[in-house]
Each structure stands twice: as structure tokens, then as C-alpha cells.
A and B are shown apart, each in its own frame.
Chain A
């Protein structure tokens, strides 16, 4: 099962894919933001439309399904209220996700006080992974492996692989030192490599 997951022809180790679209997209966001700052609501709505799916996907494995809509609304409200404080030192997308991360943290902090709940961070398996699993036990094995990681390590992996941020952006969103994030990223891979070796041997 695991050997099947190791097949990926689209990935070239060490290759850096650059896109000419990146500055253009960031510039587009900046233009919408400028318009929003001058009170143009429709510009902000365009921004919301552009990033809504990514934000929803980001929040979906961090809060319970019934709280997802409320959380999303809270994030957009905080974004609208703080749009004047955006300094442009990172992309709008990174800034938006750092607001979302803070909202999620506050949410779990208040729940821990009142209901003694632990923060949620579940990995929804991708379609490719689901196709590769022959048995439900195998899916459980992978989930169990990911659950052996610390919450901090899972946060880094989630932002990197699922939300597709690079490591400096992950550090910015999590408000952590870049070297700490790099170490957590490495430790997560190292722990999983050990688990995978054990699984293959078994």
C-alpha cells in the first residue's frame, strides 16, 4: 500500500517551480485592497471570492463542521476591520491565513476553558491516497502515523502540503521563528520515515 503512495511523477526533488503569475496575482490582490481601503465594498467581495475556497478548506479540519460557517465569517469580519493595518510585508493570502490561525487558536483556548476540549487537526486524505488504499486498516495506519506527530508539527505539515505555503510563509502564519519551523518540518518527516520503515518491515 505504502509503496504505491511513493509514486509521483509530477514531483522533481529539489526543483523550484516559479511562476510569472505570482507577482501578478499579488498585485491584483493589492489593487483590490487599495480599493477596499477607500471604501469600495465590491473590491473586498472580489477578494473574498478569490480566497474563500482556500480559507474554507484550511478551516475545515481545524474546527467542527457546525462551527465552520461562523468561523469563516469571523475571519472575514476581522479582515475587513483590520484591512487598514495591512502593511504589505507579506501577501494578502498569508495575512488572511494568519488571521484565521489566530481565530482558530482563540476558539480552542476558550473551549479548553469551558469544555476541556483539545484542538482539532485532522488530515483529510487526498483522492490519490484514497484510491491507493485497498483496505480501511491501511488508511487507519496512515492516520495513526500522522497522529504520532506533535500538534505543532502537524500544523506545519498541514500549512505546507495542504494549504501550499512555503516555509517562510508558514513561519509568518504560525508566528514562529523560521528555524523553528524548519526543524519541526524536518522532525515530522524524520518521525514518519521511521514509522514507514517499521511498517514496511512488518
Chain B
């Protein structure tokens, strides 16, 4: 068994019993996909758990400690919004939103140039603030 696997032995059992935290669980499942030795060890612990459940008792059925906590939900929502925003931004950029910006001098005698951007859906003018 690799040294990195020895560190997660305890987590294997906690995952079986639903006592592992959300992030650790994701990391463990990722590791399990690539490590047949750990999968084997998990199966061994599963067998032991089944024997103990039959011999001593069923174990806890109500686990308030493992109910999804509010901070985890908030971080997940924030991450989802961020990813959605980035994806939307990328799709707009790739759909041909090209600006043909031209600088013109205004007719009102102001020195600052007006930047007129031509977009596929029309023309938008960005006027700089007067000094």
C-alpha cells in the first residue's frame, strides 16, 4: 500500500458510515476511482461493518452531524453562479460580438472624442464625462 493510501484508511471507514465531510468525501471518491488497493480495503471494512451490525446492533440511523451544512450550501451556490457567469461570458465572446470602435469628434466643440461602438444589435455611444 502506498504511503498516500495509508493516510486515507480511516476516511474509508468514515465514508462507509456517512461520517465524512463533504470535501473529503469528494477527494476520497476521486482517489478510489484510481486505486484498486484502496477499493479492496474498503470492501474489507464493509464486511467487518456488516458483521458488527449483525453481532452488536444496527448503529445510528439518525445523523444530525452529517446533514448538509449551510456554509457548504452557500459556497456551492456561489461557485455555481461564478461558473455560470464565466460560461455566459465565454459564449457571448465566441458568438461574434465584435466592436468596431471609431473615435469621432463631437459637434458640440468638446475636445474629448466620442467613442462609438458598433455592435451586431445596433450602435451604442460611450460619451466620456466632461472635464
Interface: B130 (CB within 8 A): no
Q: Is chain A's binding surface mostly helix, strand, loop or mixed? A: helix
Contact present for B48 and A193 (CB under 8 Å): yes
Residues of A close to B14: CB separation below 8 A = 167, 182, 186
Contact present for A196 and B47 (CB under 8 Å): yes
Contact present for A161 and B19 (CB under 8 Å): no
Residues of B close to A193: CB separation below 8 A = 44-45, 47-48
Number of A-B contacts (CB under 8 A): 118
Interface: B67 (CB within 8 A): yes
Contact present for B57 and A8 (CB under 8 Å): no
Residues of A close to B65: CB separation below 8 A = 166-169
Interface: A202 (CB within 8 A): no
Q: How many residues of A contact B (CB 8 A)?
A: 46
Interface: B63 (CB within 8 A): yes
Contact present for A14 and B13 (CB under 8 Å): no
Cα of A145 to Cα of B57 in the assembled complex, Å: 16
Residues of B close to A158: CB separation below 8 A = 56
Contact present for B66 and A196 (CB under 8 Å): no
Q: Which of B16, B44, B54, B63 contacts A166 (CB 8 A)?
A: B63
Contact present for B51 and A182 (CB under 8 Å): no
- A residues sitting closer than 8 Å to B (CB atoms) are 2, 5-8, 10-11, 13-19, 21-22, 123, 125-126, 128-129, 132, 142, 146, 157-158, 160-169, 182-183, 185-186, 189-190, 192-193, 196-197
